[in-house]
Amino acid sequence: MHIPPLLGYALRRTIQSAPILIMIMIGSFLLIKLAPGDTVDALVGDMGGADPAFVARLRVEYGLDQSVVVQLWRYMAKLAQFDFGWSHVYEQPVTTVLLSRLGNTLLLMVSSLSLAFVFGIALGAFAARRAYSITDNAISTLGLVFYAMPSFFLSLLMILIFSVKLGWLPVGGIRTIGAFNEGWADVVDVARHLIMPTAALSLIYLAFYMRLMRTSVLEVSDYDFVRTARAKGAGSARVMYHHIIRNALLPVVTLLGLQFSTVLGGSVVIETIFSLPGLGQLAYTSVVKRDLNTLMGIIALSSIIVVLVNIVTDLVYAWLDPRIELK
């Protein structure tokens, strides 16, 4: 049976990623165990205290009376069966909790990265065509401002202007409470709630893509095949879109794959500020409540997503440049 090269490459990369995921889970488990406090400490703190005998029974019930090695072995054995355990905070299986939040986080990340990528390459290419002009300097300065502005500060500033002062956009959440919208009304409602979080998360990465695309376009413009196309009489627009842009996109696509994990981490701050019920806010709550199973489930799910995105990035890279062989 002949396996297509792209499928074979994807399968090999998936198999090679398995040991990396195992090491990530083991390292994360040990690091979390090194932190002070555990689930029982958080529960007892919420109750306002408890007698030592009750605390000891809770530790036995949750398996926290065992050594770290035994706890790790038990957790990895469950993980091998795709069992992420039970969330003691939400009183649900961790898988159920994660799936209820995953869609919101992916929606925020995909919209933010898409916005940053599309406008970043467009502004970068536009600035490169007018290199060292007033337009180029203005775009570059704007990119530096976005890059230097912390996402939490930009988020609070947008809330102050567009929600508090102008009243145009909702302060937080993913849907209007009590609206019970359906169909397109629900889509519009969700979109309104995502405008500010998406903008706050995407503007920083837009600056990355814009500056990298500008540099890449200027570099590719000096290649021999571009000079040849111009010598044959190709118009400037054809040279830009058919010869320069496609080759200039290669490093930008690489950065897109590498920054996916960074965006996933940045969503923690954004989701917390805007009260979005996603994985970022769930991770914050899990750390505060010492919900180990949920936190480990978030780490596992995030690692899998990042691995898959990097594999897709390599496939897109090969599609953009047929000279690249997938081995």
CA distance 317 to 94: 35
Position 190 scores a pLDDT of: 83
Is the model more confident about 236 or about 102?
Answer: 102
Angle at 71 between CA 65 and CA 72, to 5 degrees: 160
Position 74 scores a pLDDT of: 86
CA distance 196 to 310: 27
Q: Is 31 inside any structural domain? A: no
User: Which tokens is 191 given?
Assistant: 């979109």
pLDDT at 50 over 70: no
pLDDT at 71 over 60: yes
Q: Are 211 and 158 in contact (CB under 8 A)?
A: no
Q: Is 298 inside any structural domain? A: yes
Q: The tokens 């091998």 sit on which residue?
A: 80
Closest alpha carbon to 98 in 84, 88, 112, 79: 84
Q: Is 87 inside any structural domain? A: no
**Into how many domains does the chain fold?**
1
Q: Are 321 and 247 in contact (CB under 8 A)?
A: yes
Q: Is 258 inside any structural domain? A: yes
Domain interval for residue 297? 95-320
pLDDT at 196 over 80: yes
pLDDT at 179 over 70: no
Q: Are 203 and 116 in contact (CB under 8 A)?
A: yes
Question: Does the model's pTM come out above 0.75?
Answer: yes
Taking CB atoms within 8 Å and a gap of at least 24, the contacts of 265-272 are: 266/151, 266/201, 266/204, 267/105, 267/108, 267/109, 267/201, 269/151, 269/152, 269/155, 270/108, 270/151, 270/155, 270/197, 270/200, 270/201, 271/104, 271/105, 271/108, 271/197
Q: Is 41 inside any structural domain? A: no
Q: What is the mean pLDDT of residues 80-108?
A: 85
Convert 170-186 to b/e letters by CB count within 10 Å (16 or more is b).
bebebeeeeeeeeeeee
The CATH number of the domain holding residue 119 is: 1.10.3720.10
Q: Is 109 inside any structural domain? A: yes
pLDDT band at 4 (very low <50, low <70, confident <90, very high): low
Convert 198-210 to b/e letters by CB count within 10 Å (16 or more is b).
bbbbbbbbbbbbb
CA distance 41 to 296: 18
User: Which tokens is 250 given?
Assistant: 């290669």
Position 218 scores a pLDDT of: 82
Can you name the residues that pair with 92 across neighbouring β-strands? 87
Q: The tokens 């939400």 sit on which residue?
A: 90
Position 5 scores a pLDDT of: 66
User: Which tokens is 185 given?
Assistant: 């009304």
Q: pLDDT (tens digit, 9 = 90+) per residue, 217-266? A: 888 777 777 777 777 776 666 677 766 777 777 777 777 777 777 777 77
pLDDT at 327 over 60: no
Closest alpha carbon to 296 in 162, 11, 97: 97
Q: Among 170-174, 219-223, 290-294, which is the least confidently predicted range?
A: 219-223
Q: Is 29 inside any structural domain? A: no
Q: Is 78 inside any structural domain? A: no
